[in-house]
Structure 1
Amino acid sequence: MMDRNKVAIYVRVSTQGQVDDGYSLDEQVDLLTNYCKLKEWTLYDVYVDPGISGKNMHRPEIERLTRDAKRKLFDIVLIYDLKRLGRSQKENIVLVEDVFNPNGIRLVSFTENFDASTPVGKMVFGMLSAYAELDRANIAERMMMGKIGRAKAGKAMSWGMPPFAYNYNKETGDLELDEVKAPIVEMIYSEFLKGASVNKIVQKLNSMNYHGKNHDWKHHAVTVIIDNPVYCGMMKYMGQTYQAKHTPIIDKKTFELAQLERKKRLAKYHNAEWVPPFQRKYIGSKICYCGLCGAHLKSEKDKKNKLTGIRSISFFCPNTRSRGTGECTNPRFKQSVLEGYILNEVAKLQQNPEKLKDIKPAEDNELHNKIATYEKKIKQNTSKLSKLNDLYLNDLISLDDLKQQSKSLLNENEFMEEQIKLLSATTREDELRKKIDTFLAFPDVLTADYDTQKQAVELVISRVEATKEGIDIFFNF
């Protein structure tokens, strides 16, 4: 006759301290093994997950237990308590309903004295699982409050990976200044506030053999230092900044100035019309785009020509490089070829002024959309004003509230009405004629100096898309 009381014991401890001491694991195994002897059950195997949180269901031994259960290698899973299995009600129920029950396996808890295969046991199991989940949530909340309290007390919050130029003291729980590395942080802030780019700072640090955390400096490492308030004696945790106890490297004024400078530079990069100074000097810098992926073309010097010794300029799509997406296949474009084509097309416009004067402006959908948006918002505000009056008449808001909120809405409507007047007064025709007249006043672009050529091109061309098949030019009219 087949033994229907073959038992799999599952035990777990949740902290590394319990693993190191070993008492919790051994105690669970001894108790459960003796319980099996008392019940005259046959022990199949013991599954042990040391030092792994019950919140994490991706545990090696619980996964092995699940596989063996599906193979029906035992009849009973014996645990010390539900917290050992997992502290989520959903996860416990999944194990019982989807793994144990379909394979005829009973879940038995030693301390809670229930058998999840019986109706009463199922009820107790559900209640205890919910309690275990609540307990885990309470523990997590207490831990979070403890961490917030630690941050408020100025204690270090980055003990696992302390900031550059600091070491973590396990005994005091504080950050200690590394006197050797601190001058490097001072230099980073100093160079940045003098106007040096992050890349320039990286190059300088590496050229001086000022290594970071055992490796060369990278762009990200420098920006992390510039953005970290720890260097001015503060501590950031959960979006809040607290006064810290450690020794600062820079003063708060220096840190604040660095943040203002960072915002200023980032604002420029996020402006689609802005092109970095070193990329702005050529005719194609602002207007040329990749015809395959749409990226803004960049310029760089080619390798030196062996015969002439000259390094010519080429434009390339950044997505052809590993630092981009690496997926674009557009070739490089010689500056002389790309800009020569653009200038010839612009020259054709200069040579046909009558054709330019016949151009009619396209319907300005953008202008109409702006006006329609303002009109819609005015209508919404007018409706809000009516509702505010109703609320006041029904004694649901005070007179002061009515005046304050009405004034805000009326001021907003007044501003939008002025904007509509300005937009309505400006016609596409006027803008177009002014642009054409300005363009026709330029000297011959084929013989003009480079700066004049650049100004003329940017006045009449909005975008140039280049591929190996050809170049497409989009004019501003």
Structure 2
Amino acid sequence: MKIAIYVRVSTDEQVKSGHSIDNQKERLIAFCTSQGWDDYSLYIDDGYTGTNLNRPALKRMVSHVEEKRVDAVIVYKLDRLSRRQQDVLYLLEDVFEKNDCVFKSATEPFDTSTPLGKAMIGILAVFAQLERDMIIERMTAGRRARTSKGMWYGGRIPYGYNWDKEKQELTVNHEQARIVKHMYAMYLKGASRLEIAEWAESRTNERVLNHSTVRDILTRVLYTGKLQNKEQLVDGNHEAIIDTATFEAVQREYEKRRTTRFQKGKFLLTGLMKCGICGGNVVNVKRKSKYAEGGYYHFYTCKDQHVRAKDTTNDKCWVGYHRRQMIEDKVIKRIKDLALDDELVKKEIEKSSTPHEDQSGLINELNEKLKETVVGLENLYEAIQIGEIKASFVSGRITKLEEERERIQTQIDDLSLDSPAPVSNESVIRMIKKIHESWDYIEEEEKSLLLRTVIDKVVLKKHGEIDIKWNFVN
């Protein structure tokens, strides 16, 4: 008789309750031994919820049942199989019974080989789902109660924060917070979530950062120092990493990309323009005309002027509509003018310079970590050299330390570049001249990316005048 032993655990609470993986395995193997069954296989889902059937080991076991490779399925308790009555009945009737596979529980007095056992399973499945629903209700009530007091509701610690057990509150992790801030800045300058994830991945190994986690970071209001409680926002007890204005700007950008299939570089100034009257976003508007090339004229205008209620108010934006090509030509001309006038470049650098926060504290912390990592590597190399340990035993550890050293050094280099005087006037002039020289020979998308290397934003004013805020620093 071929036995499938199914084991599942999803939370630390189950471990404390005696439902750990090892505990279930030990008891179920002992159960099989007591029944004289020695031909068994283990199917283990570690860290998977019982509220759905999307579990790798369960799927593998079901396929083996359907292939007639399993005669009986044994679990420690019914809720290890599923906490949903619908799923239990599906597995029981459409999978196990259909393929002549018996189902047994080691701690509950039933099995599907008898009519009474089948009836008992239906009853227990109802209670398993009732227990699940009650757990969810209690957790939701507890979460809302904590959130209403400004306390973090729990779960995985958000990237950018640490958890202070004594104070029972989130505290800022300054190294991670710097990365979070840079993610927001990159997104507003046109970078995709994938590009941001690749940038972050080379600077930290404390958390897996892919395009999905980057999306969560960019859309989570917690980073503004607030918490979501149902439909309301409440002030949290934790310090904000992102200011409200930046967060709201990212949400607008995120919605724009989601609803308009945003393509970086589709227009030269996409995502770079701001209204000089009200500070809102500038959008591209097209007007149909039989006289225009391609059948449309394209304009830049403030979104608050173009999309507004039909009633007339005194506070509506009035920046006007301006030909897109005319505005883009002005920006390009400003860049070319700078390329031909070194003194003008220096004046723009002085005018556009932005203050930078003191990074010396973070650099010192990173240098200390770098020293610890280097010492760890040197100790391992020395131990290998004098024969205390074999290189094969610590090769994985050495690889991790080498990667950690590279990541820390990258972060130190980033902070050094962000210091008050990272770019000389000469290097800025060379950058501008390079753009000027190559402008007529590169693709449109490359032009858009190049603009973002030197321009922070383009402010659109009345009568089509523009003011360019550069990315330069003194």
Q: Give the TM-score normalised by structure 1.
A: 0.44
Q: Choose 1 or 2 for highest CA Rg.
A: 1
Q: Which has the higher contact order (CA 8 A, sep 6+)?
A: 2
